[in-house]
Structure 1
């Protein structure tokens, strides 16, 4: 993972999970909804994060490009370490990818050990999104 740089403006991480081949528009609309629920603009994002099996997923990469932030990816084992901090752990997700939550776990992993969820997992038909705030910078 590349290091995520946080500052007073860019203190949030958008975590994304999706099925392979999910349309870009579906994931982007869900990302925008998550930011609305957090009451912030895309300018508050420091990164988009997901599981490493989505490193080449067009929708995840397109969302990062849309917000002009890096996309960072984590192994399922690293995301599983975030399970105690998840608002919505899922046995179904664990059975499929080896961690109890992709969107929440990736957002928290990227935002750091003292991060907190600002928006717990929200879903569309084929994707999930969550927002975490870095514990280094509070808004």
Structure 2
């Protein structure tokens, strides 16, 4: 079973509504995703992997947020600082390449409240040729949310 099949199996087990949208190759930016999918940039939901010492966290943000303030995110988690995990660490922790990280992750998660403005959001499936369409509420159920970004 490949990563996409595993994701679909997990989504079906959880009973959430979703859609997998296929496309040629990776979508590299929120702007590119919004243009390709015909959606607002805020509906794109990049998944980032962050590190605080030996602890790792996922952060799923709205594509219209721009740069994320890691100091604010660290404060939410009670840490002094957060850094982006390296591509090698991301692959080791999640099994996904940077740029294709799935919206369903085995890490404590920070979720951007801005995503809840939309009925559906769009993000990674773990494989570069597809995008997951899902409600923010379903995303919240699927991940271990430990904090919310305002």
Higher relative contact order (CA 8 A, sep 6+): 1
Q: Which has the larger helix fraction?
A: 1
- For normalisation by structure 2, the TM-score amounts to 0.28
Please tell me whether Structure 1 or Structure 2 has the larger radius of gyration of its CA atoms.
2
- For normalisation by structure 1, the TM-score amounts to 0.29
